[in-house]
Structure 1
């Protein structure tokens, strides 16, 4: 193993190869369900009003993506009132692919905010992008540097087994 490979394994530097790309299957499913990712519409109606750069509601669940340019996009998750359980999308909660407009992402998942609007719980649960541990670690680093999370934020790595079982906390 070369020195570069050893350093890369130890440092786990994030690279272009680690970006998560939307599959053709997911893109086609979104289109069948009425989503136009490039124009950010659902069944012809504009949805840009549901996408923000920082969570503004307190004690609230959100979907998020971290884009390739380093910015975040959040959208409120309408849930069945069970906080931060995966696969609880109901009503007009936008899919991660819509937040990213179908583009590659560094990270994607679900999160919840505290009384100050800071992220207190976050995971990698996105069926569209299926980000892994490296993606969640990069999201953690970026979110902490932007002051969007707290030192007590839970970083939860989930498995894509249809149930979103927790693998571990970072």
Structure 2
């Protein structure tokens, strides 16, 4: 069955729109006061997970999404008000006015800080219920420090579902979860949020932001990832296994320095920052490679890229392409050094057939080289001059110098 040109254009526009909306939902804000590693966006399966147990649980969640009906985030990407599959419910997103109406404000009474609603009355959640927890409401803390709360309304409970993403309007936040407030004082707070998946470090930011508003006997419950995952499974999600601890004890535990000189929350955000930087490099490398591929591997000036690793990756992918190998067969390019002088280039393959096809191309272009096998690696070595000539003539990629691209390896 052929598809008409008009239909193709419609589908292409629809795909572009979906990609744009997914990008907005998954991207972090350029908010200057909050570092990106401390921001939480709706999790679309692109969240970095630390630890082998968490990795396994994350894999289960992503590969068996039908076991987690409340994790259906697709209706929230794109046009607001789209129905959730298999339900007559739509997801509500607060606009700025609606968000303002649900904000809670800090005031002082008898020398104590307390929370007030928009009408100026002491805030109290005793008659509320969220996620099956009596006396609880869902909360988010926005990047500019605003506290927004509302009861969590699930699918098929009403025309509109109210989720943590509702309160934030789908935007990045500092933290989200459930809280209890009695007579203006917070008596309980946690990080129970399947959309944003805050971790202990994010909850720490929330507790610090709300410091002075907790009752003397207030408790903090930090849900590990596996408990957060369990809570999405219908048959067992009401079983509570989260450990509650006093606010002071939670802060003390999070602020205790380890052997590396970092506190628990500092360590977490440091690792997130490292991941973000690597991910940014990956995106840039994809952009450079796309530039090369778009020109059908003709002469492309990529030396204006600021990162030598990314230029090297584009060259590695170009070699993979000309030998007809798939993505898993990308070779590795290394510069060989004798003391301070670059003397050669290694092109390292993991498969014998890839090496053989590359040799055929070198022979076709009359390139000189040496070939050897070392620890199940198939290595082609060329001089700096020969490699430079091959990249510019055979791959037709313009670079300043091959010597800029490699990792220093001292010759043995």
Fold conserved between structures, TM > 0.5: yes
More helix by share: 2
Aligned partner of 2:215 among 130, 150, 153: 150
Q: Highest relative contact order (Cα 8 Å, sep 6+), 1 or 2?
A: 1
**CA–CA distance in 2 between the matches of 1:68 and 1:140?**
14
Taking the TM superposition and a 5 Å limit, the aligned residue runs for 1:23-38 are 23-24=43-44, 27-30=73-76, 31-33=82-84, 34-37=90-93
| Structure 1: tracts of 5 or more residues without a match | 1-13, 41-45, 79-86
Shift of 1:137: 0.6
Query: Gaps (5+ residues) in structure 2?
Result: 1-33, 46-71, 77-81, 85-89, 106-116, 118-122, 127-134, 232-239, 251-412
Give TM-score scaled by structure 2 length: 0.30
The alignment status of 1:102 with 2:167, answered yes or no, reads no
Q: Normalization by structure 1: what TM-score?
A: 0.66
- Tell me which residue corresponds to 1:166: 242
Q: Highest Rg: 1 or 2?
A: 2
Q: Aligned partners of 1:90 and 1:123: how far apart in 2? A: 23
| Aligned CA distance change for structure 1 residues 90 and 166 (closer, same or farther; 3 Å) | farther
Tell me which residue corresponds to 1:126.
193
Q: Report Cα offsets for 1:32-72 as digits up to 9, x if no partner.
A: 432253648xxxxx965872325623523211001111111
Is structure 2 residue 117 aligned with structure 1 residue 61? Answer: no
SS at 2:188's partner residue? strand
| 1:9-24 alignment runs, 5 A limit | 15-24=35-44
Q: How many residues align?
A: 140
State the distance in 2 between where 1:47 and 1:22 align. 20
Q: How far apart in 2 are the matches of 1:57 and 1:162? A: 29
Distance in structure 2 (CA, Å) of the matches to 1:120 and 1:153:
4
Query: Greater strand percent: which structure?
Result: 1
